[in-house]
Chain A
Amino acid sequence: MYRFAKKVLATAAVLALAGPAAAQDGPIKMGALATLEGAFTVLGEDGMRGVRMALEEFGYKAGGREIELITGSSDASPDSAIRAARKLVEQDGVDILVGPLSGSEGLAVKDYAKTQPETTFVNGSSAAQDTTLRDPADNFFRFSTEGAQWMAGLGEYVYNEKGYRSVAVLAEDYSFPYTQVFGFLEPFCRLGGEAPADARFWVPIGNKDYSSVIAALPDDVDAIYVALGGADAVNFLTQYEQAGGQLPLIGGSITVDQTVLGSKGRTREFIIGTPSAGPISDTWDDPRWNAFVATYKEMFPDGFPSPSLFAHAYYINTKAVLLALEQIGGDLSDGQAKLRETLSTLEFETPTGMVHLDERRQAVADIFLTEVVVGPEGNLVNQTVKVIPQVSQTFGLSYEEFLEYGVVSRENPEC
């Protein structure tokens, strides 16, 4: 009996000592959540590459503490993202969660973040507007720009330079494409362009057969604005070519990026010249970007010919966390108060220029206006047309003024 009691006491003592010590000196658990299933699998894989690049850069260490990476997978639906986030936070006990990938997932994880004040959430690449614009969560940080910011300058460009006056819209039916369509159409319509409601087509994510939608597209428009991602975009582009489609395209940020241009099969010559805009440009001739691309190619020979915006967004968000941890010496005490304060004021150099957060913890960064060209290795790449510096979420307007534009939706803006 005596020996038993002694054992219990000793164990209790060890636990008592080890408890707080482990919290401060043990490894920091970082969760990474991306879509490794479903239509956006290839996007999620590249996102994870971005996380690994940032961690590798820091040697899986920050502020003197080891970083332990735990990955989770969703399928681009909000409930799968919540399930995966729950598992990472509540079962694996991660201190910081990086993710998710897709727009509506971001909205769901933001709401979940409010119920987990002990954990810090940093965005992956999800880019719906309301993740940070309306009703943001105090512990959700987004160092990547969102869908409407990504479209900065595109509406003006196709109206003024390309001379398009009316467009049809084809996009997936969830928050991220709503955000992109809003970001593109808002300036386009203000200049006098048109996109009538019956020429806007909203299809479910993971739709494979676009032939009927293609048949329903109007002939009397100047161009089609396409905001589809991953396998969906590949399917649409092939079927549009097969159906003898003639209209020029305007690309959403993930419609003509490397996740689509780098897919296996037929090269799609007819999309050469397609204008688009987004947070990266494949051919931007800048030492920071070139170094990023070189590291990516070296680390992932089986990756894309050039990193996609998903690798880029996950890289930036992960790096922000690591930089902040470095500054505070890995001190996560007091409900991670120090980490959050540092993240809010963090300003750092990314492969695409400086990034800092606004008061709702949303990134302000440079945006690239691009056009699809044949690259030096014969593959299709996005060439920089123009860099739009330091685009904020409210496009320079005040927060209240910007809210008057209304919530992004299928019909916003009307024109």
Chain B
Amino acid sequence: MRRFVERHPFGALLIAVAVAIFVWLIFAVWPEWLVDAIGRKKTFVNTLLNGITLAGLYFLVASGFTLVFGLMRNVNLAHGSMYLLGAYIGYEVSEATGSWFLGLAVAFLAIALTGVLLQVLIFRRMEGEDLRQTLVTIGISIIAADLMLAVWTGTTYQFLPPEWLFGAAQLPIVSVIRSSGDAVYIVYPIYRLVVLAVAIAAGIALWLFLNRTRVGMMVRAGVNDREMLAASGVNVQLVFALVFAIGAGLAGMAGVIGGTALSIAPGEDIRYLLASLIVVIVGGLGSVTGAALGALLIGLAEQFGLAYFPTYGVVLTFLIMVVTLAVRPQGIMGGR
């Protein structure tokens, strides 16, 4: 930190000013001219929070995707199907038992198991053939989408989260001061804050797993050089199966969390697959930190686009992708 300031005094000053303005934007009551220029503060703060919480959801889906790719060089285009299947399974379980948390746990386990089966029964047979594996995953995703449509029909499903997760919370951020002198506080849905908390927890857990455990060390070694890892006596297949289980399980869990925040319906598989693809392209394939950064960028771009210029908001997401590909084709945190 200190060395950075000494080396780049100007850059550090710029960053400090930007952070100060940002903090002021969030906590200060906006003066009239600012409201005239960029709209109400409520819109800005809510959009910011929405972007961050949506990024949390995207991170949950994309981290599994990028982990699998990093280790196995397998672009799993059936990742979106895992999301949707997890959501449906979670819905059935929580409907049958009345427990949302049980639904979440079962979705994680069931999809993790599905992931292991996919790896052991299918991908292992075509190891090293990247293109073939990718095509097979497309096939699986199409078949899975039709099977799910047959079982759960096209109806939109929504989870019933526990009562204490539903509703809105008052944040300690003043939106406007009424003429009577009362402060109006920003109100925000509790559940979306929970989504963010879960994503951060999952991120920290993943980091600890990769950087502080023996298995994590093997995974990192595998990302760098698969053959070398195998030659040093590690059962690579076991590591592969484990990583696939975690990646798929995260997607399944995200299905329940996303299905509660938004909803589940056919087509969600493609939507989240596309979102994860963009997130990892921007963040860098194979990097969990990159997935977090990419998710944050895409989540914010999507929400600010939707709030401030809804008609052309979609363009913003792809603009970020185009700029990334032009300036830094390997992604923000991508190696090599």
Contacts and interface: CB of A to CB of B under 8 A. Distances in A.
A3 interface: no
A45 interface: yes
B192 A211 contact: yes
B262 A208 contact: yes
Interface residues of B, number: 43
B117 interface: no
Contacts of A116: none
Interface stretch (A238-246, A290-298, A353-361, A386-394): A238-246
A41 interface: yes
Interface in B40-64: 42-43, 46-47, 50-51, 54
B25 to A, nearest CB: 15
Interface in B188-239: 188-189, 191-192
A26 to B, nearest CB: 31
A199 interface: no
Contact of B306 (A38, A213, A265): A213
A302 B160 contact: no
A265 B149 contact: no
Identify which of A173, A208, A214 gathers the most chain B CB atoms within 10 Å of its CB: A208
Nearest to B184: A219
A44 interface: yes
Given A203-B306, A230-B156, A238-B158, A216 B262 contact: no
Given A215-B47, A231-B263, A242-B191, A209 B155 contact: no
Nearest to A39: B267
A36 B168 contact: no
A209 B154 contact: no
A37 B148 CA distance: 12
A244 B187 contact: yes
A239 B192 CA distance: 10
Interface string A188-231: 00000000000001111011110111111000000000000011
Given A211-B189, A216-B39, A42 B311 contact: no
A213 B167 CA distance: 18
A365 interface: no
B158 A41 contact: no
B160 A235 contact: no
Contacts of A42: 153-156, 265
A204 B303 contact: no
Contacts of A208: 262-263, 268, 271
A39 B46 contact: no
Interface residues of A, number: 41
Nearest to B152: A264
A202 B307 CA distance: 10
Interface in B127-162: 149, 153-160
Contact of A263 (B155, B167, B191, B308): B155
A234 interface: yes
Contact of A243 (B153, B168, B306): B168
B310 interface: yes
Contact of A41 (B91, B266, B313): B266
A134 interface: no
A6 interface: no
Nearest to A76: B267
A76 to B, nearest CB: 10
B314 interface: yes
Interface in A26-64: 36-39, 41-45
B168 A38 contact: no
Contact of A211 (B50, B158, B263, B304): B50
| Residue from B166, B188, B306 with most neighbouring chain A CB atoms (10 Å) | B306
Contact of B158 (A38, A213, A243, A266): A266
A254 to B, nearest CB: 13
Contacts of B50: 209, 211-212, 215
B156 to A, nearest CB: 4
A63 B263 CA distance: 46
Nearest to B46: A215
A242 B158 contact: no
7 contacts: A209-B306, A213-B310, A214-B46, A215-B42, A216-B39, A216-B47, A260-B156
Given A242-B168, A260-B156, 15 more contacts: A39-B265, A41-B149, A42-B155, A45-B153, A75-B267, A173-B310, A204-B313, A206-B267, A215-B46, A216-B43, A231-B265, A238-B263, A242-B167, A263-B157, A264-B156
Interface of A: 36-39, 41-45, 75, 173, 201-204, 206-209, 211-216, 230-231, 234-235, 238-239, 242-244, 260, 262-266, 302
